[in-house]
């Protein structure tokens, strides 16, 4: 039986768009240290029965936090963009079919108490659907705005985890040589690329059998100051064949930015 795990927002210990002061002693003798702000997705209000803020068929919605926007579009029940969720699924290979696990929620270890990273309830899912090629999953700031990104935490979507390990109906599971890599690309306010950061979500090359199944911090500082961050992917053909197309998805939480110290 499929299980969904949800945490009530009332029990959260962290606030949305949290601030962290990186300076313990700002006496004036040392240069002021930067502070940090973190997008936690905790301000997104999700009805308990829904488990996410996915819009109705034919609609779209946008969640905003710390000046960043995250848009999700639902066209004929095909989802593109970024939505916020608060449910997770445990690793389960008992079923013959991958439909036992959802492509809308994160995979978490058995007995986890919350879905998000760092003991938070909410997180985001960055998803691409080939039928809506015009909307890549992306986080955007306002016109002319740029922020220095530091890091984020990522994890696999439950259904991807299952397909990699067990296959999809007649489609095979990952074997030697297969991999699943996603790429974060930063853009400045002029639309120029600021940098790229690849992240390995699964790796079956050179004898490895790695599949990410817990929240993992990723250093995104190489992207620098960004007005937009876009997610793309370069999976091996096994994953693309399982979905009959170039679908990809990854869960993202705790997006951290540096706030320059005031002069």
Taking CB atoms within 8 Å and a gap of at least 24, the contacts of 198-207 are: 198/234, 199/154, 199/250, 201/154, 201/156, 201/160, 201/250, 202/156, 202/160, 202/164, 202/174, 202/178, 203/179, 204/174, 204/175, 204/176, 204/177, 204/178, 204/179, 205/176, 205/177, 205/178, 205/179, 207/176
Q: Which residue has the tokens 């006496």?
A: 27
Q: Is beta strand 35-39 parallel, antiparallel or unpaired with respect to 248-259?
A: antiparallel
Whole-prediction pTM: 0.88
| pLDDT by 10-residue block (mean), the chain, 263 residues | 40 57 56 87 92 95 97 92 94 66 82 87 95 90 95 95 89 94 97 98 97 96 98 91 85 94 58
- Report pLDDT for 15: 52
Q: Which domain holds residue 36?
A: 5-259
Q: Note whether 65 and 97 are within 8 A (CB).
A: no
- 3-class state of residue 241 by DSSP: helix
- Report pLDDT for 4: 41
- 3-class state of residue 201 by DSSP: strand
- Report pLDDT for 11: 38
**Structural domains in the chain (count):** 1
Q: What is the Cα–Cα distance from 65 to 262, expressed in whole angstroms?
A: 22
- Report pLDDT for 152: 98
Q: CATH no. for residue 247?
A: 2.60.120.1350
């Amino acid at each position: 039986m499929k299980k969904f795990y949800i945490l009530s927002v009332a029990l959260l210990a962290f606030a949305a768009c949290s601030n962290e002061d990186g300076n313990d002693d700002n006496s004036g003798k040392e240069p002021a240290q930067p502070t940090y702000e973190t997008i936690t997705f905790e301000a997104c209000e999700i009805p308990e029965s829904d488990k996410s803020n996915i819009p109705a068929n034919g609609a779209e919605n946008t969640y905003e936090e710390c000046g960043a926007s995250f848009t999700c579009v639902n066209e004929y029940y095909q989802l593109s963009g970024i939505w916020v969720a608060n449910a997770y699924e445990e690793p389960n290979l008992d079923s013959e079919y991958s439909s036992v696990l959802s492509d809308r929620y994160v995979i978490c270890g058995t007995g986890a108490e919350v879905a998000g990273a760092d003991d938070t309830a909410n997180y985001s899912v960055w998803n691409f659907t080939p039928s809506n090629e015009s909307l890549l999953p992306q986080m955007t700031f306002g016109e002319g705005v740029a922020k220095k990104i530091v890091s984020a935490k990522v994890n696999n979507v439950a259904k991807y985890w299952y397909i990699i390990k067990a296959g999809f109906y007649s489609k095979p599971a990952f074997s030697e040589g297969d991999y699943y890599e996603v790429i974060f690309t930063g853009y400045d306010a002029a639309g120029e690329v600021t940098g790229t950061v690849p992240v390995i979500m699964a790796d079956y090359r050179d004898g490895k059998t790695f599949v990410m199944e817990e929240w993992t911090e990723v250093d995104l500082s190489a992207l620098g100051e960004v007005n937009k961050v876009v997610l793309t992917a370069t999976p091996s053909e096994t994953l693309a064949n399982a979905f009959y197309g170039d679908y990809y998805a990854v869960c993202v939480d705790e997006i951290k930015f540096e706030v320059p110290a005031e002069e």
